[in-house]
């Protein structure tokens, strides 16, 4: 069954039964099946990502397989606690009642995955949905055809289509899916497409989790360990060919250490990424042309370019830009590739004002001492903050991952992922509620009791 509407209605028909019949044992079994699927097919996953955009096998293991296995292990370990109803204090008007919150599966979920981490960002939300007791229709990205076909084949062998199904295709298929009245939509992609997804969800009043992007800045203070900063930023920027939603997009570096830092990060980048095959390709020729256009526009406007050798449409070496200005395209667009502007600063207030004037980024990184980190955290807004590190804000199992404003809506991973696909249903049970004493008719005694209540909550 590959028709999106038919798949949806098959899953929807079983949603009421699954609400009560898909308990902890069934969810654990589904998560174990997913774990075995990933473990048993590691070579095929590595080969698919190598074919789609030249991802190094070690990078695939670290960024596509390890995060999914960690997510599954974390969910299995904590599922009993997550599913347990929580008792809450009833408050003044609820005295005499028992109050609890019962997590229930929202129902049928749509997951639209991107191309840049096509396994992690597809299967990670599937873990959360299964842990919450939802069924899933997964739409992988058509821009990574080998990985998309592999996911469709493996999931088709692993799960019945009324629990987890894959629908392949391009924007027309995504549009058809978004027209259906799903109970939750989890989308990872660009802010531009995120707006389309949110508008489609609004037509059915469907809840959404939007994991979007943004220009994630880095601040390197004068008191930073420059060798540490160079190492982490060179890794974070060029990992996966720079095609990471939380990658450092540009670096503000204090003017007094800017020259030293520039030399150090270029040396560190050469050490990490010079060997052939280490750096992933740009995903396709269109994105390659876009990146070369950003470099060319900056160079034409006076920026200095280091690196950037290009071999064909999709092979672009790490590139550094110095002397960029806010009017350049590279300063306005999310770069999403192996290009990194280095921007000296002498006034931190101006840097913080510049960050605050733009859309809120998905991540922000700061390298330096505690005072600098506290100031940056206190005076900026972003989805997450990394201090003296990059990228790892995504993978911590006990931290919510998500954006704010232009960079996203809602959170994922661990308990927050479970919550995203769950309805936290309040249940209030009358045991000996005195509230009936305030029912009409509104006698003088009722009025006195009402006045007493008001005095108690002042």
Which residues are catalytic, by number?
A: 211, 245
Separation CA 277–CA 367 (nearest Å): 29
Both structure tokens of 390: 């990059």
Both structure tokens of 407: 């960079």
Q: Which helix (H) or strand (E) holds 217?
A: strand 217-220
- Which ranges constitute the DSSP H helices of 386-443? 414-420
Burial 328-363 (b: 16+ CB within 10 A, else e): bbbbeebbbbbbbbbbbbeebeebbeebeeebbbbb
| H helix and E strand count, the chain | 17, 18
Q: What is the CA radius of gyration of the chain?
A: 25
The region, left, alpha or beta by phi > 0 then psi within -120 to 50, assigned to residue 350 is: alpha
**DSSP notation for 315-329:** EE--EEEES--TTSH
Separation CA 78–CA 360 (nearest Å): 32
For residue 166, the number of C-alpha atoms closer than 13 Å in the C-beta half-sphere is 23
The region, left, alpha or beta by phi > 0 then psi within -120 to 50, assigned to residue 334 is: beta
Short-list 213, 319, 322, 225, CA closest to 270: 319
Neighbour-count burial of 370, counting CB atoms closer than 10 A to its CB (0-12 exposed, 13-18 middle, 19+ buried): exposed
């Amino acid at each position: 069954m590959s028709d999106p509407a038919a798949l949806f209605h098959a899953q929807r028909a079983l949603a009421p039964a699954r609400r009560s019949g898909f308990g902890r044992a069934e969810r654990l079994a589904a998560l174990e099946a997913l774990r075995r699927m990933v473990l048993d097919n590691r070579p095929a996953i590595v080969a698919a990502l190598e074919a789609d955009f030249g991802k190094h096998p070690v990078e695939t293991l670290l960024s596509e397989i390890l995060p999914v296995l960690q997510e599954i292990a974390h969910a299995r370990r904590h599922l009993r606690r997550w599913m347990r109803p929580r008792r809450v204090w009833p408050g003044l008007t609820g005295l005499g009642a028992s109050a609890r919150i019962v997590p229930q599966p929202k129902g049928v979920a749509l997951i639209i995955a991107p191309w840049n981490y096509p396994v992690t960002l597809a299967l990670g939300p599937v873990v959360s949905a299964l842990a919450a007791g939802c069924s899933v229709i997964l739409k992988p990205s058509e821009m990574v055809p080998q990985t998309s076909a592999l996911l469709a084949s493996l999931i088709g062998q692993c799960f019945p289509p009324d629990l987890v199904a894959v629908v392949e295709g391009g924007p027309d298929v995504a549009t058809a899916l978004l027209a259906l009245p799903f109970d939750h939509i989890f989308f990872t992609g660009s802010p531009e497409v995120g707006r389309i997804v949110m508008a489609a969800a609004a037509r059915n009043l469907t809840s959404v989790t939007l994991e979007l992007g943004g220009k994630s800045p880095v601040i390197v203070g004068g008191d930073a360990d420059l060798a540490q900063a160079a190492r982490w930023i060179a890794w974070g920027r060029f990992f996966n060919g720079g095609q990471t939603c939380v990658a450092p997009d540009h670096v503000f570096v204090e003017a007094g250490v800017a020259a030293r830092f520039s030399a150090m990060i270029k040396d560190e980048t050469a050490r990490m990424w010079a060997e052939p095959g280490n750096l992933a390709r740009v995903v396709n020729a269109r994105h390659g042309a876009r990146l070369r256009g950003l470099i060319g526009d900056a160079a034409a406007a006076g920026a200095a370019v280091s690196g950037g050798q290009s071999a064909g449409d999709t092979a672009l070496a790490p590139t550094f830009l110095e002397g960029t200005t806010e009017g350049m395209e590279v300063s306005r667009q999310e770069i999403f590739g192996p290009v990194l502007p280095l921007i000296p600063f002498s006034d931190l207030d101006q840097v913080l004002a510049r960050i605050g004037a733009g859309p809120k980024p998905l991540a922000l990184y700061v390298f330096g001492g505690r005072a600098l980190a506290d100031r940056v955290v206190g005076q900026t807004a972003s989805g997450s903050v990394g201090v003296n590190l990059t990228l790892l804000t995504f993978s911590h199992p006990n931290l919510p991952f998500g954006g704010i404003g232009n960079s996203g809506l809602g959170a994922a991973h661990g308990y927050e992922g479970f919550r995203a696909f769950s309805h936290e249903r309040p249940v209030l049970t009358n045991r000996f509620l005195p509230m009936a004493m305030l029912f009409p008719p509104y006698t003088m005694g009722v009025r006195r009791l009402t006045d007493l209540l008001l005095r108690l909550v002042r």
